[in-house]
Amino acid sequence: MLASATPASAPESAIYNTQMQDLIGRLLIELGEDPSREGLLKTPQRVEKALAFLTSGYRANIDDVLNGALFSVDYSEMVIVRDIDFYSMCEHHLLPFFGKCHVAYIPNGKVIGLSKIPRLVDIFARRLQLQERMTNQIAETIREKINPLGVAVVCEGTHLCMAMRGVEKQNSYTITSAMLGAFRDQGRTRMEFLELLKHRAPGVDLAMQAPPLTASCLDE
Ligand SMILES: [Zn+2]
């Protein structure tokens, strides 16, 4: 996934923001590096491009993404898209957090084309984020766009700001959930969703504990 951050097709001349590249060059100096050494010569340009991609969610238009992919149906069984990979950046440390996102909803006359759900996750992942907020934004957007009987989103993330800095054990991960409508009001519906996730997502039963969330990223 990360390989697509710098697609081979991107022209070398695709410089978007030289001011940002200057800042990255200065950052290298402040870190004690020599930006003129061979290995770092193109680093400001590469970092700038990578950051532009990793924050491209700010510039994405949700309606453009969903355009033509909302369908009327006479169907009210639970729709689940699970194991959606996400890659995001924590807003406290500008370090990556990444993992799996599981989305479910119960239609109320409308469905979203299945391939659009991962696109929606990308839009909210590709910006500076908190895992809690990202989880809620995905759920609220689905509610807003198709007004289903219920929406559930569970995200499991590994936070490099914790793992790399030794704040928490390396293998710990954070689970966040947003349950709206039937998933909030009806224990059986929520259980059915979580049971379906359990088989491949070992930590997911923790998401049932409400109020669930400790901060996904320690603000220090
Ligand atoms: Zn952090």
CATH of residue 105: 3.30.1130.10
Q: What is the pLDDT of residue 188?
A: 95
Comparing 11-15, 49-53, 61-65, 92-96, the range with the smallest average pLDDT is 11-15
Tell me the CA–centroid distance for residue 134 and ligand 1, in Å.
14
Same domain for 105 and 166?
Answer: yes
Tell me the CA–centroid distance for residue 10 and ligand 1, in Å.
30
Q: What is the pLDDT of residue 9?
A: 44
Same domain for 103 and 142?
Answer: yes
Same domain for 95 and 46?
Answer: no
Query: Are residues 107 and 148 in contact, defined by beta-carbon separation less than 8 angstroms?
Result: yes
Tell me the CA–centroid distance for residue 165 and ligand 1, in Å.
10
Same domain for 75 and 133?
Answer: yes
Tell me the CA–centroid distance for residue 3 and ligand 1, in Å.
22
Same domain for 158 and 91?
Answer: yes
Q: What is the pLDDT of residue 3?
A: 40
Alpha helices in 96-186 (DSSP H): 116-125, 131-146, 160-163, 182-185
Query: Where is pLDDT greater, at 193 or 3?
Result: 193
Tell me the CA–centroid distance for residue 95 and ligand 1, in Å.
6
Please state at what angle helix 18-30 crosses helix 43-54, rounded to 10 degrees. Answer: 120
Q: What is the pLDDT of residue 168?
A: 62
Q: How far apart are CA 204 and CA 198, in angstroms?
A: 6
Comparing 75-84, 129-138, 163-172, the range with the smallest average pLDDT is 163-172
Instruction: Tell me if 133 is assigned to some domain.
Output: yes
Same domain for 133 and 202?
Answer: yes
Same domain for 86 and 22?
Answer: no
**Number of domains within the chain:** 2
Q: What is the pLDDT of residue 172?
A: 78
pLDDT score of 13 more than 50: no
72-77 mean pLDDT:
90
Tell me the CA–centroid distance for residue 154 and ligand 1, in Å.
19
Q: How far apart are CA 132 and CA 209, in angstroms?
A: 15
15-29 mean pLDDT:
90
Same domain for 107 and 21?
Answer: no
Instruction: Tell me if 213 is assigned to some domain.
Output: no
Same domain for 34 and 108?
Answer: no
Domain hosting residue 101, numbered range? 69-208
Nearest CA to 67 out of 114, 105, 6, 116 is that of: 116
Tokens, residue 21: 């590249």
148-168 mean pLDDT:
90
Same domain for 17 and 125?
Answer: no
Same domain for 39 and 106?
Answer: no
Instruction: Tell me if 220 is assigned to some domain.
Output: no
Tell me the CA–centroid distance for residue 52 and ligand 1, in Å.
19
Tokens, residue 145: 């766009």
Q: What is the pLDDT of residue 204?
A: 54
Same domain for 44 and 82?
Answer: no
